[in-house]
A = this chain, B = another copy of it.
């Protein structure tokens, strides 16, 4: 199966490391392509940046579908455009880190804590926790006071801070599972979970595997995203008659 990982930022800086990391985690028959956007901010810590990349990200999702991909992952823990993407696809599976990680975490333990980079991120992520249904399963949010670009810079310091925050979450807030609340926290999970003795969910692996899982459900059992009500797709004739492809410079996206 073919999966498109979208780094929804205007830099390809993370494309190769994420690709390499995904290769270590994917199923044997999964082919992965990692793309980033042709334009855009360098990270998505601010919701404005999410807004900037939203349409381009959705168009990458559409392109993936048109090209016959099986799945697309929107690679940011805010899950930007997840619900919109599910609306515009016909059969493509779409996943995102927070939703995937929370479903897994809520299955592995009674409660989880989410370790984020900055307190800034928490209100929106908390709204997502509520939206997905996991409020009673949330032990806490913990911030390590690091920006997206800090995580992979001084890895030892990052590991130290993640561990301190996770340890406190486990001991003081009784978290049974830890979620790393940023895709760029990728790779730290394994050492952390060995040290802590609780599962630590990586925000890159989680949506990859959840996508592979959902693709199989779709292909074998027809359990694709529901297309009634909330995820009903916009009619192509409407899109065509309004020249949206032309207006937004996205020829072929709505094929």
Could you list which residues of chain A lie within 8 angstroms of chain B, going by C-beta atoms?
Answer: 10, 25, 27, 39-42, 45-52, 54-55, 58, 81, 83-84, 87-88, 99, 103-104, 106-111, 119-120, 122-124, 126-127, 130-137, 170, 174, 176-177, 189-190, 193-194, 197-199, 201-202, 205, 209-210, 213-214, 216-217, 220-234, 238-239, 242, 244, 247-248
- Cβ contact within 8 Å between B131 and A46: no
| Extra 20 A-B pairs, beta carbons < 8 Å, given A198-B228, A199-B225 | A41-B238, A42-B242, A46-B87, A47-B83, A47-B84, A47-B87, A51-B54, A51-B81, A52-B244, A55-B55, A104-B223, A109-B228, A119-B174, A120-B230, A123-B176, A193-B222, A197-B227, A198-B226, A199-B222, A199-B224
Query: Closest B-chain residue to A239, C-beta based?
Result: B41
Query: Closest B-chain residue to A99, C-beta based?
Result: B107
- Cβ contact within 8 Å between A230 and B137: no
How far is B229's CA from A210's CA once the two chains are assembled, in angstroms? 26
- Cβ contact within 8 Å between B119 and A229: yes
- Inside 8 A of A106's CB, which chain B residues have their CB? 103, 132-133
Query: Closest B-chain residue to A209, C-beta based?
Result: B217
How far is B133's CA from A226's CA once the two chains are assembled, in angstroms? 20
Which of A48, A190, A213 neighbours the largest number of chain B CB atoms within 10 Å of its CB? Answer: A48
Say whether, besides A103-B107, A127-B131, A132-B106, A51 and B228 are in contact (CB < 8 Å): no
- Inside 8 A of A234's CB, which chain B residues have their CB? 41, 45-46, 48-49
How far is B49's CA from A61's CA once the two chains are assembled, in angstroms? 15
A65 to chain B, nearest CB (A): 13
A49 to chain B, nearest CB (A): 7
Say whether, besides A221-B205, A242-B10, A226 and B51 are in contact (CB < 8 Å): no
27 contacts between A and B (CB under 8 A): A10-B247, A39-B248, A40-B247, A42-B242, A48-B88, A51-B54, A52-B244, A54-B54, A83-B124, A109-B225, A109-B226, A109-B231, A110-B226, A110-B230, A110-B231, A119-B229, A123-B176, A131-B131, A133-B135, A174-B229, A176-B226, A198-B228, A199-B223, A199-B225, A199-B226, A201-B223, A205-B221
